[in-house]
Amino acid sequence: MKLIVQKFGGSSVANTERINNVARIITDTYREGNRVVAVVSAQGDTTDDLIAKAAEINPKPSKREMDVLLSTGEQISMALLAMAIERLGFPVISLTGWQAGFLSNSNHGDARIKRIDRERVENELAKRNIVIVAGFQGLNKYDDITTLGRGGSDTSAVALAASLGADICQIYTDVDGIYTADPRIVPNAKKLEEITYDEMLELASLGANVLHNRSVEMAKKYSIHLEVLSSLEKKPGTRVREAIKMEKMLIKGVARDNDVARISLLELPNTPGIAFKIFSCLAAKHINVDIILQSVSSANTKDISFTVSKANKDLAVEALEEIKSSVGASEIRCADNISKVSIVGAGMVANPGVAAMMFEALSEANINIEMISTSEIKISVIIDEADSARAVNVIHSKFIGD
Ligand code: ADP
Ligand code: ASP
Ligand code: MG
């Protein structure tokens, strides 16, 4: 008898018809003789709606109360799905994240799972119940509700699969697999049969939100068989695994991230210690910095530019204003109408000229590159947000074709 963890995202449980559809997927799996744990997200746009509702009441609510509010979305889904399964005549029980033993740290809004006490879920499985678990939520050591960050239900599912020793973790969503680019941006993106953990981790971290990046990290760590597939059409999806068949693809995918802001400090003295002061000041405020660019100008001064998430922009500027005169910057500038577009693929290490090909695609489309960053398996550029969908398309057709 296999143990299967299935996760259903917001669009898969968006309305009554979809919930009944998910109930059928789960009960079919159960009927085939498997033990089933299903992790659910909030219905449709519920989480966004709750965030908007909170902003009406208080533009700066505490993170603790935000988590109390946001966790309710998943609780609605789990109960409705359990009711749909009851109606089909199968034994079922729904559990909140805390009933299912999810213990997290106290970083409200972006908490990390520390441990799962799996006893309750195991007891329910031993009773032959189908177990429905609310994704995205946990409990910290003070018994306060936490949430795992946007898209975090994927991570709930993978963590549960790891903790229970499941045979497979299936992520059901509104696309039928992982594509070479977001099919909403690139209509002729190609579906991948398989992808490695490392490539998917890069893609997810660089904006391909089909999987929460931490879920991929965890799947790799615990060697979880992960599959992304459609809840609406019955066909094979994409498998994420350690090593895959050799194939000729130079790159695996193109990703876009619009959650980027750039901050520049201008005309800094060209002396040692300046970068240290700037970035230790940001680190002290727990601000994550992504791409960094330093340029030397003719007057023996340098400019330093870097990117942060949009949410951290104001905090970063505030912190830097305080040290502006001590580091000798003439001006602090920022922009948030920018995007990061990236290509990912393990094949690029062995193939020189990949970067040139990417820049050629952008140059042919007359798209200006503002910053560049590379690693062994990815190349990212910062460009104007208005050009980003076009950039993803031209890069995609250069490497993968139309
Ligand atoms: P869920 O609610 O099921 O968690 P998400 O909206 O979080 O669904 O993730 C699915 C979406 O991810 C798709 O609708 C698609 O637009 C987007 N996406 C981004 N990059 C990719 C990609 N490379 N392959 C497939 N989907 C992608
Ligand atoms: N409902 C949460 C969100 O919208 C978690 C998830 O869907 O994975 O981010
Ligand atoms: Mg998601």
Q: pLDDT per residue over 190-226, tens digit each? A: 999 999 999 999 999 999 999 999 999 999 999 999 9
What would the mean pLDDT of 4-23 be, rounded to a whole number? 98
Could you tell me if the CB of 392 is within 6 A of ligand 1?
no
Q: Decide: 10 in ligand 2 pocket, CB within 6 A.
A: yes
Does the pLDDT of residue 248 top 80, yes or no? no
Give the Cα-Cα-Cα angle 153, 149, 165 (nearest 5 degrees).
40
Residue whose CA is closest, atom 27 of ligand 1?
A: 182
Extended beta strands in 242-330, E state: 253-269, 292-296, 301-308
Say if ligand 1 is within 6 A of residue 184 CB: yes
Residue 173 CB less than 6 A away from ligand 1: yes
347 CA from centroid of ligand 2 (Å): 32
Task: Tell which atom from ligand 1 comes closest to the C-alpha of 253.
Answer: 23
Model confidence over 231-247: pLDDT tens digits? Answer: 999 999 999 999 777 66
Atom of ligand 2 nearest to the CA of 151: 8
What residues are paired with 36 via a beta bridge?
Answer: 4
Residue 67 sits at φ, ψ, to 5 deg, of: -65, -35
Question: Which atom of ligand 1 sits closest to the CA of residue 10?
Answer: 2
Residue nearest to atom 8 of ligand 2 (CA): 151
From ligand 3's centre to the CA of 116, what distance in Å?
21
- Select from 399, 366, 400, 359 the least CA-distant residue to 384: 366
